[in-house]
Structure 1
Amino acid sequence: MSDVTGRFALAAAVVAVSLVMASASAARHDYGDALSKSLLYFESQRSGRLPYNQRVRWRGHSGLTDGLEQGVDLVGGYYDAGDHVKFGLPMAFTVTMLSWAVLEYGDQIAAAGEGAHALQSIKWGTDYFIKAHTAPNELWTQVGDGDSDHYCWQRPEDMTTSRRAYKVDAEHPGSEVAAETAAAMAAASIVFRRAGDAHYAHLLLHHAQQLFEFADKYRGRYDDSVRVVKSFYPSASGYKDELLWAALWLHRATGGRDYLDYVVSNADDFGGTGWGVSEFSWDIKYPGLQILASKLLIEEKELSSEYRTVLEKYRSKGEFYVCSNMNKNPGGAARNAPRTPAGLIFIRPWNNLQYVTNAVFLLTVHSDHLAVLLAVLGCMSSAAGVPLPVPT
């Protein structure tokens, strides 16, 4: 089970709010209400000791002994679905995407009266990640056992199933989850720096840098170290996409050239400029990485020609994803995202709407990026592959 459908409803709602002023359909749909309910959903998924201003009143404190058996405090975070397991990889990706949504559309979210709730949703996750990162090379990545949990249907306030915690470390590496958590904390650090909380932003960035170093130095698949996760969130794409994704978010958070060097120098070997795919998800980060990398072509004026060439390759693969999800790539069905008979993007049978809302988000973000330079997306036209103009 996974609550990613609900999680990524936020991405769609944020995009919808960003289009309210321009869309004729705004009169038919209350996008502000959709945004509000998407953020309210996160409060229903909270684990731990709930605050006085908790709006979902039927929820109570839960998971207050998480980590006790292992001698660590792992109280907090988000439950994954209707179950009570806390899975680190999808939780971290959720926070990364929440943060990205706020960075792209924070003004619209605030105008809808939901700015504070968005920050609270991010912080509930990052506070937990700080607890879970108990040493530079140690990250607790799961609390609870999915198999036993799914045999017992009960409220989290009453749960009696195992709360065993699992970790990755230098001897049992988990590069996917460590790098994704680094990405989440780096992205969130930008959010809180812009919000005026410099101390918390610095704390998040410190953890993000340590986690990235851990993920990169001790490379290994996290589902080989935490085998109980294989039935629920196995790593199909490996960890190289997460390493590039985390490095790019750290570049955005710090402006540090070393992180950009990493993204450029590893572009080919790690698949960043090689993978053209139709899925963006908690497992496969390549399209998000590629779209985010292409934004540097707009924002950074002093890029060398070598760097611009590599970033254009990222952009090309990102636009393969965009065109695929618009059903506009040449080559027919083999090069475009599958669809239902009625036209809905259909990547996988289970929780398919997560892929749909991720696509809505990335397509809207990339559209906004292109609009800055009055550039055109060319899927099957002469505009395909034309480099973006250098910003002045």
Structure 2
Amino acid sequence: MALSLSLTTILLSLFSFFLLHTHANPFRSIHHHNHPHFATHNYRDALTKSILFFQGQRSGKLPSNQRISWRRDSGLSDGSALHVDLVGGYYDAGDNVKFGFPMAFTTTMLSWSVIEFGGLMKSELPNAKKAVRWATDYLLKATAHPNIIYVQVGDAKKDHACWERPEDMDTPRSVFKVDANAPGSEVAAETAAALAAASLVFRKSDPTYAKILVRRAIRVFQFADKHRRSYSNALKPFVCPFYCSYSGYQDGLLWGAAWLHKATKNPMYLKYIQTNGQILGAAEFDNTFGWDNKHVGARILLSKEFLVQNVKSLHDYKGHSDNFVCSLIPGAGSSSAQYTPGGLLFKMSDSNMQYVTSTTFLLVTYAKYLTKSHSVVNCGGTTVTPKRLRTLAKRQVDYLLGDNPLKMSYMVGYGPRYPQRIHHRGSSLPSMAVHPGKIQCSAGFGVMNSKSPNPNILMGAVVGGPDQHDRFPDQRSDYEQSEPATYVNAPLVGTLAYLAHSFGQL
């Protein structure tokens, strides 16, 4: 009996080992999950770099403590075409245009990262707050006039016809806005969400600034709600196909209201959510979360009110959030997510990593809410615990940092092997220090099309990532896979802070 029992134990152990280490299982985990002070990755180093990346995306007059030193001042006359000051903010990706829609989402997600996990960030917290403030200082300028939001600086088509450093920009810095005659509810609501979320970041450290942010958020949201229309209508030739709003503006209004409810505690916003939730698509089974579609983010954010604050009227948002979680769990009845053979969540070929980082943030955040309320998720007959959500999130981040078939980190500057030819003008062209003379518009394409590695390391940049078969060509011209973006990094900041803390690295 004792012999057969031990044989059974050995067979079960072998079977478990097989399950944990086959590529078919996206949940295969590292054998030391149960040893929280030993991790395969230096999450703290990745956290530092993920925040540092934002300095490489800065537009405007750079401060004396700028740490990504190959960048210089740029876009110093932005806004002058319409006699407004629009200097500052971030370039969204590898080009030199400032797109307000993804910039606002980046700001909201950086802020949410700090709100949920800033207490764990230790010495990185001031850097994370600086990254938020670089964006909010700009968004305050963009919303300085009532009922007007400046939503873009730069003509994207003309910008994309050049390959030049931000410091050399000579393409038109055209300014685009939404107003009462040409509204843009989604971009206005996202801007309101960003300002409201950021007000919570600065509430204790800079209460005066926080009040300015929340007052502006209220005003901008009123404009978004009163003048309901998509900005893709009025500004189609300029914002499409780059940052067209495909999901409509309804999700943006729900998201904006959720953040204003959180920032102001004014019952008016709770009433707005209760009254308009269904009309604004609260129950839609759409499980994509990113710069365009905010449905899932709003669900998770509002589920906290029910789970932790016990706001009974928001009970449905727990169910909606559970549906999202169940869609990600292989084997669960309503599972719809696709994973690569190596275990990476795969949504689409163009910048797939943005969905990986946004989803992992939602997983660790929802796990936090569930833990606080002693709750679990029921997926048909499967009970999903907060620990399982964290395990899935960790597995995705570990893949991103190098636990993948190519053994490549998709964060520039992290680990021994990472992308060398990212689709990013400033990183790919010689810096001002090396080549002070102007590099003309089309002269840069010689570099863009070359096989040489980028001379300037854009530390912490997370690229679009591998394809559905875990392949990554590392080609500069391949913007779908090789281009970094602010909205890829922003949610990752929170997840990395959580992981660094839970493994005793902070």
Tell me which interval the TM-score lies in, with the shorter structure as reference length. 0.7 to 0.9
Q: Contact conserved, 1:329 with 1:380, CA < 8 A, in 2? A: yes
Please state how far the C-alpha of 1:357 moved relative to its aligned partner. 1.0
| Aligned-pair identity (%) | 48
Question: How does 1:85-100 map onto structure 2 within 5 Å?
Answer: 85-100=97-112
Distance in 1 between residues matched to 2:150 and 2:168, nearest whole Å:
23
Higher helix proportion (structure 1 or 2)? 1
| Structure 1 counterpart of 2:100, one-letter code | G
**Is 1:351 matched up with 2:365?**
no
Count of aligned pairs: 352
**Is 1:102 matched up with 2:114?**
yes
**Is 1:294 matched up with 2:303?**
yes
Q: Contact conserved, 1:138 with 1:168, CA < 8 A, in 2? A: yes
Distance in 2 between residues matched to 1:288 and 1:23, nearest whole Å:
31
Distance change in 2, residues 1:25/1:327 (3 Å): farther
| Structure 2 counterpart of 1:60, one-letter code | R
Distance change in 2, residues 1:43/1:218 (3 Å): same
Distance change in 2, residues 1:99/1:51 (3 Å): same
Please state how far the C-alpha of 1:343 moved relative to its aligned partner. 2.6
Distance in 1 between residues matched to 2:356 and 2:301, nearest whole Å:
18
| Structure 1 counterpart of 2:224, one-letter code | A
Q: CA deviation digits over 1:329-383, x for unaligned, max 9?
A: 414xxx5122223331111101101101111110111111111122111112376
Distance change in 2, residues 1:382/1:45 (3 Å): closer
2:147 corresponds to which residue?
A: 137
Distance in 1 between residues matched to 2:89 and 2:206, nearest whole Å:
21
2:47 corresponds to which residue?
A: 35
Please state how far the C-alpha of 1:317 moved relative to its aligned partner. 1.5
1:319 corresponds to which residue?
A: 322
Distance change in 2, residues 1:242/1:328 (3 Å): farther
Q: Contact conserved, 1:278 with 1:337, CA < 8 A, in 2? A: no
1:243 corresponds to which residue?
A: 253
1:388 corresponds to which residue?
A: none
Please state how far the C-alpha of 1:199 moved relative to its aligned partner. 0.5
Distance in 2 between residues matched to 1:22 and 1:204, nearest whole Å:
42
Distance change in 2, residues 1:60/1:107 (3 Å): same
Distance in 1 between residues matched to 2:259 and 2:301, nearest whole Å:
9
Q: Find the partner of 2:73 among 46, 53, 61.
A: 61
Distance in 1 between residues matched to 2:33 and 2:212, nearest whole Å:
37
Please state how far the C-alpha of 1:121 moved relative to its aligned partner. 0.2
**Is 1:84 matched up with 2:96?**
yes
| Structure 2 counterpart of 1:219, one-letter code | R
Q: Find the partner of 1:116 among 126, 142, 150.
A: 126
| Structure 1: segments with no counterpart, 5+ residues | 1-19, 385-392
Distance in 2 between residues matched to 1:22 and 1:100, nearest whole Å:
28
1:171 corresponds to which residue?
A: 181
The TM-score normalised by the length of structure 1 is 0.87
Q: Contact conserved, 1:70 with 1:165, CA < 8 A, in 2? A: yes
Distance in 2 between residues matched to 1:42 and 1:314, nearest whole Å:
33
Distance in 2 between residues matched to 1:82 and 1:383, nearest whole Å:
42
2:219 corresponds to which residue?
A: 210
Please state how far the C-alpha of 1:226 moved relative to its aligned partner. 1.5
Question: How does 1:142-153 map onto structure 2 within 5 Å?
Answer: 142-153=152-163
Please state how far the C-alpha of 1:150 moved relative to its aligned partner. 1.0
Q: CA deviation digits over 1:79-124, x for unaligned, max 9?
A: 01110000001100001000001010011112xx101100000000
**Is 1:375 matched up with 2:378?**
no
Please state how far the C-alpha of 1:23 moved relative to its aligned partner. 5.9
Distance in 1 between residues matched to 2:162 and 2:339, nearest whole Å:
35
**Is 1:186 matched up with 2:189?**
no
Distance change in 2, residues 1:313/1:68 (3 Å): same
Distance change in 2, residues 1:21/1:326 (3 Å): closer
Q: CA deviation digits over 1:148-200, x for unaligned, max 9?
A: 11110111001111100100000000000000000000000011003x21100
Secondary structure, aligned partner of 2:63: coil
1:225 corresponds to which residue?
A: 234
Distance change in 2, residues 1:369/1:22 (3 Å): farther
**Is 1:50 matched up with 2:59?**
no
Q: CA deviation digits over 1:285-314, x for unaligned, max 9?
A: 00110001100013334x4x5x1xxx2222
1:389 corresponds to which residue?
A: none
Q: Find the partner of 1:267 among 267, 277, 300.
A: 277
Secondary structure, aligned partner of 1:114: helix
RMSD (Å), alpha carbons: 1.7
Distance in 2 between residues matched to 1:222 and 1:339, nearest whole Å:
33
**Is 1:159 matched up with 2:169?**
yes
Q: Contact conserved, 1:63 with 1:157, CA < 8 A, in 2? A: yes
Please state how far the C-alpha of 1:241 moved relative to its aligned partner. 0.6
Distance change in 2, residues 1:107/1:162 (3 Å): same
Distance change in 2, residues 1:128/1:27 (3 Å): same
Please state how far the C-alpha of 1:326 moved relative to its aligned partner. 2.6
Distance change in 2, residues 1:270/1:219 (3 Å): same
Distance in 1 between residues matched to 2:316 and 2:373, nearest whole Å:
18
Q: CA deviation digits over 1:258-283, x for unaligned, max 9?
A: 001111111111111x2122211101
Q: Contact conserved, 2:308 with 2:372, CA < 8 A, in 1? A: no
| Structure 2 counterpart of 1:342, one-letter code | G
| Structure 2 counterpart of 1:341, one-letter code | P
1:15 corresponds to which residue?
A: none
Distance change in 2, residues 1:350/1:170 (3 Å): same
